[in-house]
């Protein structure tokens, strides 16, 4: 646990010193293992104008186990399911203790702003993105307006 906390404090310091554009990170006041975060939609994504809140929960054996990421803002996205779980390999089978939380945040930002029908969490949304992109974009914009503004 002490090793995890030292590493988390160091990473938080790095993120504070070199913030990622469009991402905010705020650890809970009484619990360094829980971070409240948000990512802004980039100007060229269907999520532009939106701010999506998510939570990062760090395990007590971090960095040997990947953090748990849950989106709190509803988003119409092939890689994020109804429960707010995000499908990124770096948080599953590609996790390594050398992965930094800055990298995790950058990957989440990339995933949000570049929805892909490959390796989906939501196959129906992925199929719509593949087969009727205009309808996908309209629905993504509608959700953004409704839930992320």
37 is catalytic: no
Q: Which of 23, 33, 87, 90 is catalytic?
A: 87
For 113, other C-beta atoms within 10 Å of its C-beta total 19
CA dihedral 65, 98, 114, 49 (to 10 degrees): 80
Angle between helices 133-147 and 123-131 (to 10 degrees): 130
Please give the Cα distance from 86 to 47 (Å, whole number): 16
* Cβ atoms 54, 108 nearer than 8 A: yes
- Residues designated catalytic: 87
């Amino acid at each position: 646990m002490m090793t995890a906390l030292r590493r988390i404090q160091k990473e938080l310091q790095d993120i504070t010193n070199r913030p990622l554009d469009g991402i905010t990170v705020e650890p809970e006041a009484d619990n360094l293992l829980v971070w409240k975060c948000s990512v802004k939609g980039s100007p060229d994504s269907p999520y532009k104008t939106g701010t999506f809140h998510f939570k990062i929960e760090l395990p007590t054996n971090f960095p040997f186990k990947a953090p748990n990421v849950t989106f709190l803002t509803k988003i119409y996205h092939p890689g994020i399911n109804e429960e707010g779980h995000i499908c990124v390999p770096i948080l599953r089978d590609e996790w390594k203790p050398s992965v930094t939380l800055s990298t995790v945040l950058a990957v989440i930002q990339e995933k949000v702003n570049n929805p892909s029908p490959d390796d989906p969490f939501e196959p129906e949304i992925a199929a719509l993105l593949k087969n009727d992109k205009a309808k996908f974009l309209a629905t993504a914009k509608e959700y953004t307006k409704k839930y992320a503004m």
